[in-house]
Amino acid sequence: MKIVLIGFMGSGKTTVAKLLAKKLRLKAIDMDDLALKKSGRKSINEIFEKDGEEKFRQIEYQVAQDLADCNDAVISTGGGVVVNTQLMSYLTKNSLVFYLKADFDKLKIRVRMKKIIPPLFKNEALARNLYKTRQPLYESYANMNILTDRRTIEMVATDITAHIGETNGRE
């Protein structure tokens, strides 16, 4: 089974993926972690600052390519994967995709609580714009939208496992 979690920065993809992987006895794989390993840099922020966003997107693309045939894993993605169609075809190959959906203002609060603010969330107006343009893309790739506002990580993971159970039952 290959499960892919998509959504904007601050939607909880990495935390939910870890819990979900534990519940389902799968591996948790984080695309940003893999991109960081390939980059040789110390942080995603450093990749953006020293190499530029384009370089980050190239690495992210290679990571998605590497994950095309991955199995028995829950993959947490970077918030920007949905803008590249070819990347998404590798990433979502033989997978179930869940969109962790939240209001922008909720995401803003969650991101501000992080130790490191992601590079594309440093400017709030730009982040809000990105959110607007990406929202329909997340929805178009998702097998299911999972609402995360006012819901705990546990509740979100339970929603996903329930949906996986239903999907398997239908097959």
Task: Map the footprint of ligand S3P across residues 112-151, applying CB under 6 A.
Answer: 118-120
Residues 39-98 that bind ligand S3P (CB under 6 A): 44, 78-80
Closest CB to ligand S3P among 32 and 159?
32
Q: 9-40 burial string, b = 16+ CB within 10 Å, else e? A: bbbbbebbbbbbbeebebebbbbbebbbeebe
Q: Tell me how far, at minimum, the Cβ of 18 lies from ligand S3P, in Å.
A: 13
Name which position in 4, 9, 97, 142 contacts ligand S3P (CB under 6 A). 9
Q: Which is nearest to 156 in space by CA: 1, 20, 30, 25?
A: 20
CB of 170 to ligand S3P, least distance (A): 30
* Alpha-carbon torsion, ordered 137, 59, 29, 166, to 10 deg: 30
Which residues of this protein are in contact with ligand S3P, per CB under 6 A? 9, 13, 32, 44, 78-80, 118-120
